[in-house]
Structure 1
């Protein structure tokens, strides 16, 4: 009798492990977004010098955070606020960005101006996002990062 009980327990554990594995695989899948295509659409629609859209996974693989690096002509707070308005107007109706919170960074120039555009957005970012947040009356801007909720994006796009 003990043998059959042990076999039954192993079967139950196997089913539980299979279900857990299936859930992990489902939850860890990256978004279906083609980041390069979204970056190109955003650049064309908003008049930016360039954009890099990236889906990050802070804290857990199933957590999606959309980070957009904006390459701008003018890194003043007023000009970046105008660029953020253009990004919001695009994002609100975009199939990949619509309804999503966004994190924005801005760097003056074009992606081609830098040997590594990704690093440039970290090392050369414009530290104006606190002022941009105040100008827009939306989001949380600190130093070189502006976090916008989906509601913020929608409000900015409607102005």
Structure 2
């Protein structure tokens, strides 16, 4: 009598060119799809803003000497922090407050900035005045933002950084 030979379903499928499906395999595939979808969603915010275009619009429409807009991701790729580095003619608290008001008035209607919290820095001069304008906004920033926040009546200003929530930006734009 011949011994009964039992082929497993997996070996038959493999022999016939059918991919084996196991619970573990399905879970791995589902996990990969979920991870890919999450990455696509979280990283899609990065590609949405042309920082140079926004910088140029702000400088022109708000009457600044120049602007550098940057989207930072502190702590995680899905955390967006929009930093506006303003090049201003008057780096006093009064002058910077005036420029923040102008930027806020533009930002509330700007498709890339509308409804977003904004972080501001200011440096006196124009981008062309510096060999490295980005570094200049760090090393030569006006340390007046505490006074600027006081003048505006909103936001948090510490030395050379002013942070405004989206509601603060709307409030500043209305004044």
User: TM over 0.5: same fold?
Assistant: yes
Whole-angstrom CA distance in 2 between matches of 1:79 and 1:129: 11
1:60 aligned onto 2:85: no
**Alpha-carbon offset, residue 73 of structure 1:** 0.5
The structure showing larger relative contact order (alpha-carbon pairs under 8 Å, at least 6 residues apart) is 1
1:9-158 superposed matches below 5 A: 9-29=24-44, 30-158=46-174
> How high is the TM-score relative to the length of structure 2?
0.85
* SS class of match (2:78): coil
The Cα RMSD (Å) is: 1.8
CA distances 1:90-139 after superposition (whole Å, capped 9, x unpaired)? 11111111111000000000000000000000000000000000000010
Whole-angstrom CA distance in 2 between matches of 1:82 and 1:111: 19
CA distances 1:63-99 after superposition (whole Å, capped 9, x unpaired)? 1110000000011001100011101111111111111
Q: For residues 99 and 31 of structure 1, do their structure 2 counterparts lie closer, same or farther at Cα, with a shift above 3 Å needed?
A: farther
Q: For residues 6 and 41 of structure 1, do their structure 2 counterparts lie closer, same or farther at Cα, with a shift above 3 Å needed?
A: closer
Gap regions ≥5 residues in structure 1: none
Whole-angstrom CA distance in 2 between matches of 1:3 and 1:126: 73
